[in-house]
A = this chain, B = another copy of it.
Amino acid sequence: MAPPGADRPRAVVLVSGGMDSATTLARAVEAGFEAHALTVRYGQRHAVEVERARELATGLGAISHKIVDIDLRTFGGSALTDDRVPVPGAREPRARSSAPSTYVPARNTLFLTLALAWAETLGARDLFVGANAVDYSGYPDCRPEFLEAFERLANLGTRAGVEGRSFRVQAPLMRWTKGEIVREASRLGVDLARTVSCYAPSDAGSPCRACEACALRATGFREAGLPDPALD
């Protein structure tokens, strides 16, 4: 980590309360960025995420943390924002070509757009996001070509971009397995006991152990050969 007071470049880091974004934040700080964490409260049923995001951001050395509210339930279309759509279990079949029902329409476009708006006023050029390759098999807005298209848009659609500050979208975990993420999180001192991966946790944040996100997380800890401290 850069020494306090050093003139570090600023970055906006999207922090959800999950393991991937916490690890991304820890890497941004380690790489020497003055990290400004951004969390979006979008009406997700797993709202405990937001409190955990705040805790993680502070613990990992973000210089500021902002929570933005926008209620995506108004549009519906996702198991994560509509109580009438059940969160699927990890073993339920779905069409291989299709994103899962936990896909939220245009969510990552929205998150990155808010990060961009803040970055522009902060004078930051780097936007960090925890998108990764394991998720992207299902979510179209976690793929590298999506992030490249967003970068292009950011540079065309902002005053800063047009004036020559080119924005960069950094997704350092993009091609990592969940096991690699767990190991890296562990190396960086991320408090994994406080990260929430589950799509349908209890109000206190305990995982359901049945949804796809819980299954993916369990795979990660198994691959890394580590116990999951959130299950204690």
Given contacts A140-B161, A163-B97, contact A77 B153 (CB under 8 A): no
- Cα-based distance from A20 to B161 in the complex (angstroms): 26
Chain A interface, number of residues (Cβ within 8 angstroms): 44
Asked whether any CB of chain B lies closer than 8 Å to the CB of A4, the reply is: no
Number of copies: 2
Cβ-defined partner of A146 (8 Å) among B66, B72, B98, B156: B156
In residues 142-170 of chain A, which contact B (Cβ within 8 Å)? Answer: 143, 145-146, 149-150, 152-154, 156-159, 161-163
Q: Mark A100-118, 1 if CB is under 8 A from B, else 0.
A: 0001011111100110111
CA distance A154 to B105 in the complex (A): 10
Once the chains bind, are A159 and B105 in contact (CB under 8 Å)?
Answer: yes
| A114:B110 contact, CB within 8 angstroms | yes
Closest to A142 in B: B157
A101 to chain B, nearest CB (A): 10
Residue A71, interface by CB 8 Å:
yes
- Which of A98, A105, A118, A140: most chain B CB closer than 10 A? A105
Bound CA span A66–B74, Å = 8
- The answer to whether A68 and B74 touch across the interface, beta carbons within 8 angstroms, is yes
> What 1/0 mask marks residues of chain A from 116 to 139 whose CB sits below 8 Å from any chain B CB?
111011000000000000000000
Return A109 CB to nearest CB of chain B, in Å. Answer: 5
Question: Cβ of A162 and Cβ of B140 under 8 Å apart?
Answer: yes
Q: Are A140 and B153 in contact (CB under 8 A)?
A: no
A156 interface neighbour in B105, B149, B162, Cβ under 8 Å: B149
